[in-house]
Structure 1
Amino acid sequence: MKNIVVVFHSGYGHTQRMAQAVAEGAGAELLAIDADGNLPEGGWETLNAADAIIMGSPTYMGSVSWQFKKFADASSKVWFTQGWKDKLFAGFTNSASVNGDKSSTLSYLVTLAMQHSGVWVGQGMMPANTKAAQRNDVNYLGTYIGAMAQSPSDAGAADMLPGDLETARLFGKRVADVAAKFQA
């Protein structure tokens, strides 16, 4: 089993629920970025030891949260030495709107991974895009680059759709499966 870490920021609990589902699927450790944009004690060491890093952030104003951006900017110390080169990376996000510019957030995460000379793992599942599709189907939002979820602005984290959480869990499993293929 590969060492997989899910590093994430969650403002209202929705992204945390997604992170938990991703971690369940991947057999991964959770590493939360706090409200001030900091990792817990030992967080950088945990990421340095990881074989795969799955990043998660809510989509706010078309990008990652400022807390996640602070973490990303702080990762420039690792970037300078290419300390995460050839690690697997993946990402996920949640927003209140069905579109909500979540693709911009996932593109930001891809760019961050590429700057670290990482290898990106996409969603790897077909979208639910037929006439028979229901909002609670797996990958109903039809993403390929990473996992997406949508939570109405007046809904708590406990109200997240099971289909979005199952999409997140299957995404985590995909990252773990790809990581297993990269074992030497």
Structure 2
Amino acid sequence: MANVVVVYHSGYGHTQFIAQAVAKGADAQLLPIDAEGNLPEGGWDTLAGADAIVFGTPTYMGGPSWQFKKFADASSKPWFSRAWQDKFFAGFSVSASLNGDKGATLAYLNTLAAQHGGLWISLGMLPSNAKAATRNDVNNLGGSVGLLVQAPSDAGADAIPQGDVDTARKFGERVAAVVGKFKG
């Protein structure tokens, strides 16, 4: 069984909700980054033991939250020792807009994984881009590099379109399946 950890920062609960959906799909452990950009006690050890690390962050002003960035900068210690070399990585981002520059955030997460010598797992799903498609369809936002999620800024996590939640769960399943192919 793959040991997957979803490490994420959530400013208003939307990213946490999606992290939970990804974790459910992957049977993964959740590792929240707090409001000051820190991991809980033992968090770095949890990441060291993971087969796969899924990064999650809201997109604020065209990039990851400063709390996620603080975590990423602190990952220079495992970077220097190559502690995460050849681990699997994946990522997702949530913003209020349909696009909201989430692509820039995913590029950042992919680059962070590459700096650690990691192997990136893409979303791996065709987009739902036919005329009949709705926000309740899987991958309606057309992600490829990673999971894209839209959360209305004036509503709670329960207003995230069901298609995005379903995509998150399926993404978690994909991460676990890919890691399982190589771990088994």
Q: If the length of structure 2 is used for normalisation, what is the TM-score?
A: 0.99
1:13-24 → structure 2 map (5 Å cutoff):
13-24=13-24
Paired residue type of 1:166: D
CA RMSD of aligned residues (A): 0.6
Residue 181 (str. 1) matches residue 181 (str. 2): yes
Q: C-alpha distance in 2, partners of 1:103/1:109?
A: 10
Partner Cα separation in structure 2 for residue 76 and residue 143 of structure 1: 28
1:156 Cα deviation (Å)? 1.0
- Which residue does the alignment assign to 1:43? 43
Runs of 4+ displaced beyond 6 Å? none
Give aligned pairs, total. Answer: 184
Residues 69-118 of structure 1, C-alpha deviations (whole Å, 9 max, x = no match): 00000000000011000000000010001110000000000000000000
In structure 1, distance between residues paired with 2:86 and 2:70:
23
- Alignment of 1:102 with 2:102, yes or no, is yes
Q: Describe the superposition over 1:33-66 as per-residue Cα deviations: whole angstroms up to 9, x where unpaired.
A: 0000000000000000000000000000000000
Q: Shift of the alpha carbon at 1:153?
A: 1.0
| Alignment of structure 1 residues 139-154 onto 2, 5 Å | 139-154=139-154
Read off the aligned partner of 1:100 and give its amino acid letter.
G
Contact 2:22–2:169 (CA<8 Å) still a contact in 1?
yes
Could you list the runs of 5+ residues in structure 2 that have no partner in the other structure? none
Whole-angstrom CA distance in 2 between matches of 1:183 and 1:84: 15
1:7 Cα shift? 0.2
Aligned-partner Cα distance in 2 for 1:135–1:3 = 31
Identity of aligned pairs, percent? Answer: 66
Paired with 2:106 and 2:159, the residues of 1 have a C-alpha distance of 23
Provide the rounded CA distance (Å) in 2 between the counterparts of 1:90 and 1:120.
6
C-alpha distance in 1, partners of 2:90/2:141? 17
State TM-score, norm by structure 1.
0.99
